Structure 1
Amino acid sequence: MALLELFLTCPKSLEGLLAQECEQLGAESVKESVAGVSCHATLETAYKLCLWSRLANRVLLRLHQGAAETADELYDTIQQVNWDEHMQSGGTLTVDFSGTNREIRNTHFAAQRVKDAIVDQLKDRTGFRHSVDKERPSMRVNVRLHHGEVVICLDLSGNSLHQRGYRLDGGLAPLKENLAAAILIRSGWPELAKKGAPLLDPMCGSGTLLIEAALIAMDQAPGLNRSHFGFFTWKQHDFDLWQEVEKEADIRAGLGRKRWQGLIYGYDVSNKALDAARKNIRRAGLDKTIHVTKKELAYFAQPTHAGVLEAGLVATNPPYGERISDMPSLIHLYRHLGERLKEAFPDWQVSVFTGNPDLCHKMGMRSHKQYAMFNGALPCKLLLFKVLPQVVRETGDDSPEKVAKPLQSTEDLIYDESDWSEGAVMFANRLRKNLKQLKKWLKKSGVQCYRAYDADIPEYSVAVDVYGDHLHVQEYAPPKTIDSSKAERRLMDVIQVLPAVFDMKPSNIHLKQRKRQAGTSQYEKLNRKEQMLTVQEGPCKILVNLDDYLDTGLFLDHRPIRSYIGEQSKDKRVLNLFCYTGTASVHAAVGGARSTVSVDMSKTYLNWAQQNMKLNGCAGPQHEFIQADCTQWLADNDRLFDLIFMDPPTFSNSKRMEGVFDVQRDHARMIRHAMRVLSPGGVLIFSNNLRSFKMDEGILEQYDVDDISKESIPTDFARNQRIHHCFEIRYFD
């Protein structure tokens, strides 16, 4: 029988492994290409490739190649294949099309033309018009357009081969099965499994690595649990030959299950993930082979009931964070993973698959091998380690022992500063110096929320704010001239240092990246945790959100201004423009204001302001909250106020307001509107944070303006005297 010309697709970076696998399964003339391998094979070998390939996505049978510069030429080339040799009578089809050119720009249109060419030819020959079935077609056609030519293939696989048939529950971020198999092969698991070595996964998720490890260890074909392959409904399918191939795989699997005596264990802290893992393991028929249980990483160790195990493989795919706010906990998770491995797994092999290799630096272990891989479109790395034995300590008798005590939790406040980089040490020293300088002031003032660090060292460009027993860390976006990996490494230094310096749990550290904001972007959510934290500021309680928005709900540099407003508000009518979360209104209300009016464009922040007011027992009709464009509302308002606080943004082009607001250009007009509704003897407190701001000369001549910027800047912002500008504006006597 003539050899078939095949092309097997696979995830990028797995081509070399797939080529080796094809050769082992009997393919000939194997050649690697991008995201796939071409080869020649008998029909029997083609069946084996579909059944046994742990790495391929699809096995494509090449039928024809021809010109396709235009849609009509594409149609004609498709009709050069005798489709009656492949399509069963009354069967259905679907078309996968990739590639474009100047004339063929839409893949959906091109797929439709391919379908028409096939259906028209078959109707002319059989009188039956075949229909499309995208779920389980009788014939799946794969067409790839490149440089004006199309390669036409029949898909022998059906659904992608990574779908083994055991996984219906994927967990939060599951690995595809063929990627999991590739990780294990790169990690040397096939050789270790032959020796009966154990395998453990401390963060097993839905169990994909465990199941693929068991299939490899027991010599079970990964496709043995699949209910369907594309060639089942192919007209040239040899049913008897397929049964022989399948029977041989069944026999090998049975022998492998009897032979395998090793241990495969998985742990996770998520009940949902473990439930998914157990269901997947059960569907794979491996519930007597794979054991999963709930266990924190802090207690990760060799199974005690199994006795002393031979050194095996720890293989895991830890979380690596989709959001920058995930980093604090992840950095310490990786650090604790390294600690547990060094303490409890001497001489074991370790493989860690991650989309953030810099996190692995926090493990305190040096990888001896790294492989670039992809998880979908995401570049990842597989890092391989050999755990070196710990230093032996004398016990007082004649026998030394190794120290391997479990941590109490992944957030134990035990910090080894010996593995800090030089920059991390420098950053920690500056933090400690700042805290020492602030100590007396904090004790005397009773301030709970303050700035501890603000890019004091240019290389560590972050702001660190304390909110009680939480930290809010803002990473200023590095300039384009700074290498992104270097900036990432420095950020990890920061997160590694903070829990040690502040004696704080990593989960209490909230990390964000600050970028230039425009329009309503400052109102948009970064996360959706919706967790409010109550903090105390003087006599007031304030709700802050350290995760969901760029800002927390409390501008720390305005602390003295809010305090001053509270002191000056007794029996006053107070107007708070651009009120944000209403903290100045709260201080005014607690200070005895007769009434307050709070105006802002954002409904989100006005609701927040109302919550702050209720929290302090000041809710009532005398405290109004108005959603409006402050500039327009102020121009239209005729009510008088005794104290007005106005803290506009530097710039805004929000769709909710007319035109564009620029504080330098527009402040004089706004101040005049505000002074129009200021009662005799009243005061306007005007603030903004434009560093280059200069008060309009006309305002200086028209009103009594007192620059109180210096007095309004708190001790914790003393290094940044231009953090804001603040003025008291009155009528001349």
Structure 2
Amino acid sequence: MVAQEFFITAPHGTEDLLLDEIAALGATRLGSIRSGASFHGPLETAYRICLWSRVASRVFLPLTRFEAQDADQLYEGVRGFAWEDHLGASHTLAVDASLRRSWISHSRFAALRIKDAIVDRFRDRSGQRPSVRVDQPDLRIHALIDGQSVTLCLDLSGEGLYRRGYRAQGGQAPLKENLAAAILLRAGWPEMARAGQALLDPLCGSATLLIEGALMAGDVAPGLLRPHFGFLRWAGHDERAWRQLIEEAGQRKAQSQGGLPPILGCDSDRVAVAAARANVAGAGLSGSIVVDQADFASWLPRVRSAVGDQGLIVTNPPYGERLGDVTRLAAVYAALGNSCRCHFGGWRLSVLTGNPDLAGHLGLRAKRSHSLRNGPIRAKLLHYDLRPSTDDGAQPDAPAGSRPVGDLKPLDGAAEMFANRLRKNFKAVCRWAEREGVSCYRVYDADLPEYAVAIDYYQGRVHVQEYQAPPSVDATKAHRRLLDVLRVVPEVLGVAADQVYLKQRRRQRGAEQYGRTARSGEFFQVEEGPCRFWVNLSDYLDTGLFLDHRPIRRKIMEMVPGVRFLNLFGYTGAATVFAARGGAAGTVTVDASRTYLDWARRNLQLNGFTEGPHRLERCDVLEWLDKTKEFFELIFLDPPTFSNSKDRSGTFDVQRDHVHLIRQAVRCLRPGGLLIFSTNHRKFRLDEDALGDLEIADISAATIPWDFRRSPTIHKCWLLGASGALDDACGGQERRSKKPQRS
């Protein structure tokens, strides 16, 4: 057969794999091109590559080349080619184009001009013309336009070769099949499979890695299940050569049946598992791949005894780009690294991630890495050797100071102390919460100086806030302690690793205090007393519900029956919901943030309250107070520590500006009305002299909930009112009578 020139494309970062692969398939005169390769060979070699290449995306046969300086020359160059040698007037076609350094600015314009030239040639010669069909046309033409050089190619693949034909369902963000194959090749899976070693994917999604691994182990041509290739209805197609290749592939598949090593995967998502099983069945591998619905932290130890002493764990865990939720993934990576280290000494681990920071939470040191692209995402494929534990349980490849001891136990003495303290705290707070009917509460708040985190429990989910370490603390040691936290928390609190959300609390300025940190949109409902709230643990620095204000909200509910309530700096409206539930005659909630007022509106609706008697005002609070003519019997004022809101000229500092703010709020009180003023600024000092005409009661101690007893300065709170207003409200709290006015 006559040797011809061909081009092949492949995922970025896999070019060397592609060259090795096509050389083994008979290609000669190999050359590297951008994201692909070129080669020479007979048509049969191109067919073989279409059938057997695991890495290639598309295979192109150049048909003609010419120069074109403008659209007219492009049209004439295409129209002058003998297209009737490749398809008939009754056939269908599609045209794609890719541009590089071209005078043409739009690839769709180029494709349209080329299509017009082809069909015009047929119409002029026979009075008939091919029709356009985007999906599986008889002939797909691809134009490569580089500067003034135009190359028109026949797309032999027809559609991407990564479309193997077995995928019934893709899942949330499926890995392309040829990229999965490249990952397995990089990890050394073919050699391991020949040695009978096992393949595991503990976060398998739609099972693409497992299926590609089974096809490799079983010597199954990846294109054998494809119903369509671009050359099948091409006029130059060699049907005899293609039939021989198909028969040969079928024979090789039959010879390898029944000899696959153990290939197993799991995923906690029921929908993903259903998609994975459907894909496995579509690949004809139902008896060879096992997919379980399980959390990997419990699944990995369970399957360890069934898979031998050596093998490959390969996985593509989420890395934030596709879920918009990096905050909850740190614990997933930490638990994955810990499980692999503890139970799979002697194995290899390969992890594809688009987030190097998350990869750091694995707590392992990569031996090799490769750069890849997963769609638009720049990703790293990291390879680890999980060496057997030494006599004292330490992993030779783990960071210094790590010491796994048994099944997910703490890594060293300090971590064990943390785990014991967390366990003790959780047991005590659970008893208290059940007695008090509380479902969201603080479990731990930097009880041990080495573990400077706050841990809050939200009805089966956990919010971990790492306090920023001072410069004197070694960054490596601080990170190691954080890994301890992320590994211990799921086990001690009994939650899945992907239900642990991590944030780092840093000194915030201005709008950063309430700024968005992610965009997952993952809201869920929690209960507090008779009320329900929408909470988001991932997207903002705070969750939407200040747990330390629980007693303040309860006090508001007790004080509001039949009165009008004003909530200033209303945030997500939790205090407003309690006021509405307590029987307030009406409420007004003021905040400058549209996001938080929308959240407050949703919270009111969740509890059955409409905006009629419960008004939401989007406005700078100081500006609103300056203009309002309304009066209220109860006002709740919880300002930020600092703000430089875009709606206000200048800044707001609670220590500097609180007297003016309080006076503006008190101006809106009816006779006998009360103001509840709260701040979480720990160094705050209330200027009582400047507020000498008011009665003031410090109720801070009574508003610190039991679960925050270790943090008595979490907030400060006062009741303020005119003479006599506090008589029935201060409840025995420390009270300071108003001072006489100076003359």
State the TM bucket, normalised to the shorter chain. Answer: 0.7 to 0.9
Q: Verify: 1:625 aligned to 2:614, yes or no.
A: yes
- Residue type of the alignment partner of 2:212: E
1:510 aligned residue (491, 501, 505): 501
Q: 1:694 to 1:705 in 2, by over 3 A?
A: farther
Number of the residue aligned with 1:418: 411
**1-structure distance, mates of 2:185, 2:13:** 13
| Residues 269-288 of structure 1: pairs in structure 2 closer than 5 A | 269-288=268-287
CA distance in 2, matches of 1:723, 1:359: 33
Distance 1:299 1:228, change over 3 A: closer
> 1:158 — aligned with what?
158
Cα distance change of structure 1 residues 354 and 646 upon mapping to structure 2, 3 Å threshold: closer
Note if contact 2:338-2:408 (Cα within 8 Å) is conserved in structure 1: no
Aligned residue in 2 for 1:678: 669
Do residues 18 (structure 1) and 18 (structure 2) align? yes
**Per-residue deviation, 1:155:** 0.6
1:547 equivalent to 2:537? Answer yes
Cα drift, residue 499 of structure 1: 5.2
Q: Partner of 1:417: helix, strand, or coil?
A: coil
Shift of 1:691: 10
Secondary structure, aligned partner of 2:257 = helix
Q: CA separation of 1:327/1:310 partners in 2, compared to 1, >3 Å: closer, same or farther?
A: closer
Q: Please show how residues 576-591 of structure 1 align to structure 2 within 5 Å.
A: 576-585=567-576
Q: Residues 565, 355 of structure 1: CA spacing in aligned structure 2 closer, same or farther, 3 A cutoff?
A: same
Contact 2:568 2:589 in 1 (8 A): yes
Q: Which amino acid aligns with 2:370?
A: Y
State the one-letter code of the partner of 1:531. F
Tell me: CA distance 1:87–1:337, structure 2 relative to 1, closer, same or farther (3 Å): farther
Structure 1 pair 293/696, CA: closer, same or farther in 2 (3 Å)?
Answer: closer
8 Å contact 1:338–1:364 — kept in the other structure?
no
CA contact (8 A) 1:468 1:535 kept: no
Give 1:678 shift.
2.1
**Contact map agreement 2:214 2:260 (CA 8 A) in 1:** no
What's the offset of the Cα at 1:470? 5.8
Report which stretch shifted further, 152-161 or 592-601.
Answer: 592-601
Is contact 1:96–1:141 with CA below 8 Å preserved after alignment?
Answer: yes
Question: Which one-letter code corresponds to 1:72 in the other structure?
Answer: D
**How do 1:225-240 residues align onto structure 2 when only pairs under 5 Å count?**
225-240=225-240
Amino acid of the structure 2 residue aligned with 1:599: T
The answer to whether the 8 Å contact 1:9/1:58 transfers is yes
The letter for the 1-side match of 2:369 is: Q
Alpha-carbon contact 2:576-2:589 (below 8 Å) kept: no
AA aligned opposite 2:284: G
CA change 1:38–1:152 in 2 (3 A) is same
Q: Does 1:331 align with 2:328?
A: no
Secondary structure of the structure 1 residue equivalent to 2:411: helix
Match of 1:533 in 2: 526
Deviation at 1:272, TM superposition (A): 3.3
Label 1:382 to 1:518 Cα distance change in 2 as closer, same or farther (>3 A): same
2:329 is matched by which residue type in structure 1?
M
- Residue matched to 2:731: none
Moved more, 27-36 or 500-509: 500-509
What SS does structure 2 have at the residue aligned with 1:418? Answer: coil
Deviation, structure 1 residue 520? 14
Per the alignment, residue 401 of structure 1 pairs with: none
What is the alpha-carbon distance in structure 2 between the residues aligned to residue 320 and residue 87 of structure 1? 46
Q: Match for 1:495 among 486, 495, 498? A: 486
The correspondence for 2:463, drawn from 472, 482, 499, is 472
Secondary structure of the structure 2 residue equivalent to 1:51: helix
Task: Tell me the number of residue pairs that the alignment of Structure 1 and Structure 2 aligns.
Answer: 686
Contact 2:566 2:587 in 1 (8 A): yes
Please give the secondary structure, in 2, of the residue aligned with 1:96. Answer: strand
Deviation, structure 1 residue 29 = 1.0
Match in the other structure for 1:399: none
Q: C-alpha separation between the residues in 1 aligned to 2:669 and 2:319?
A: 55
Residue 131 of structure 1 and its aligned partner are, at CA, apart by: 2.4
Alpha carbons of structure 1 residues 178 and 704: separation in structure 2 relative to 1, 3 Å = same
Q: Pick closer, same or farther for the CA change 1:585–1:166 going to 2, 3 Å.
A: closer
Give runs of aligned pairs for residues 208-219 of structure 1, distance below 5 A. Answer: 208-219=208-219
| CA-to-aligned-CA distance 1:103-147 (integer Å, 9 cap, x gap) | 422222222122222222333333323322111112212123334
Structure 2 counterpart of 1:32, one-letter code: S
Q: CA deviation at 1:305?
A: 11
> SS in structure 2 opposite 1:234?
coil
Would the aligned equivalents of 1:685 and 1:729 in 2 still touch at CA under 8 Å? no
Number of the residue aligned with 2:97: 97
Q: Which runs of 5+ in 2 are unaligned?
A: 393-404, 592-596, 724-737
Q: 1:92 to 1:487 in 2, by over 3 A?
A: farther
1:118 is aligned to 118
- CA shift for structure 1 position 45: 0.7
Conserved? CA contact 1:266–1:291, under 8 Å: yes
Partner AA of 1:242 in structure 2: W
- Contiguous gaps of at least 5 residues in structure 1: 394-411
Which whole-Å deviations, capped at 9, do the CAs of 1:192-213 have from their partners, x for residues lacking one?
A: 3334444444444333233222
Query: Partner letter of residue 334 of structure 1?
Result: L
CA shift, 1:159, in A, is 0.9
- Tell me the CA shift for residue 46 of structure 1: 1.1
For 2:486, what is the secondary structure of its paired residue?
helix
SS of residue in 2 equivalent to 1:105: coil
Distance 1:587 1:301 in 2: 46
Amino acid at match of 1:287: S
Query: Aligned to 1:608, which of 603, 606, 615?
Result: 603
Asked if 1:644 corresponds to 2:635, the answer is: yes
**Closer, same or farther: CA 82–726 of 1 in aligned 2, 3 Å:** farther
Q: Does 1:375 align with 2:370?
A: no
TM-score (norm 2): 0.74
Structure 1 position 16, deviation (Å) = 0.4
What is aligned with 1:187?
Answer: 187
Matched to 1:545, the amino acid is: V
SS in 2 for 1:99: strand
Q: Any idea what SS the aligned residue of 2:236 has? A: coil
Q: In structure 2, how many angstroms separate the alpha carbons of the residues matched to 1:720 and 1:118? A: 80
For 1:150, give the aligned amino acid.
Answer: V
Deviations 1:523-548 (A, max 9, x none): 99944444222346xxx867462536
> Does the 8 Å contact 1:71/1:103 carry over to 2?
no
For 2:490 and 2:24, locate their aligned partners in 1 and report how far apart those are by CA, in whole Å. Answer: 51
One-letter amino acid of the counterpart of residue 237, structure 2: H
TM-score by length of 1: 0.75
Distance (Å, rounded) in 1 between the aligned partners of 2:686 and 2:270 = 60
Contact 1:519-1:653 within 8 A present in 2 as well:
no
Partner Cα distance (2:675, 2:667) in 1: 11
Contact 1:144 1:151 in 2 (8 A): yes
1:74 and 1:469, CA in 2 relative to 1: closer, same or farther beyond 3 A? closer
Distance 1:264 1:467 in 2: 37
**Secondary structure of the residue that 1:230 maps to in structure 2?**
coil
Change (3 A) 1:723 1:8: farther
CA distance in 1, matches of 2:106, 2:544: 48
Q: Pairwise mapping of residues 341-420 of structure 1 onto structure 2 (< 5 A)?
A: 341-342=343-344, 347-356=346-355, 367-390=366-389, 415-418=408-411
**Distance of 2:35 and 2:232 partners within structure 1:** 25
Maintained 8 Å contact 1:337/1:363: no
The structural deviation recorded for 1:687 is: 5.6
Find the residue that maps to 1:37 and give its secondary structure: strand
Matched, 1:144 2:139: no
SS in structure 2 at match of 1:26: coil
The answer to which of 114-123 and 383-392 deviates more is 383-392
SS of residue paired to 1:219: coil
Compared CA separation, residues 68 and 492, structure 1 to 2 (3 A): farther
Q: Which digits, 9 at most, give the CA deviation of each residue in 1:264-295, with x for residues without a partner?
A: 44444444334333332333233344444555
Give the 3-state SS of the residue equivalent to 1:532 in structure 2: strand
Per the alignment, in what secondary structure is the counterpart of residue 608 of structure 1? helix
Contact 1:218/1:257 (8 A) holds in 2: yes
The change in CA–CA distance for 1:517 and 1:29 in structure 2 (over 3 A counts) is farther
- Say if 1:375 and 1:519 are closer, same or farther in 2 by CA, change over 3 A: closer
Name the aligned partner's letter for residue 254 of structure 2: G
Q: Hey, what's the Cα distance between the residues in 2 that align with 1:520 and 1:109? A: 48
Q: Distance in 1 between matches of 2:121 and 2:547?
A: 74
Q: Confirm or deny: 8 A CA contact 1:93 1:139 kept in the other structure.
A: yes
Q: CA deviation at 1:30?
A: 0.8
Contact preservation (8 Å) 2:14, 2:372: yes
Amino acid at match of 1:166: Y
Q: Which has the higher mean CA deviation after the structures are superposed, 249-258 or 359-368?
A: 359-368
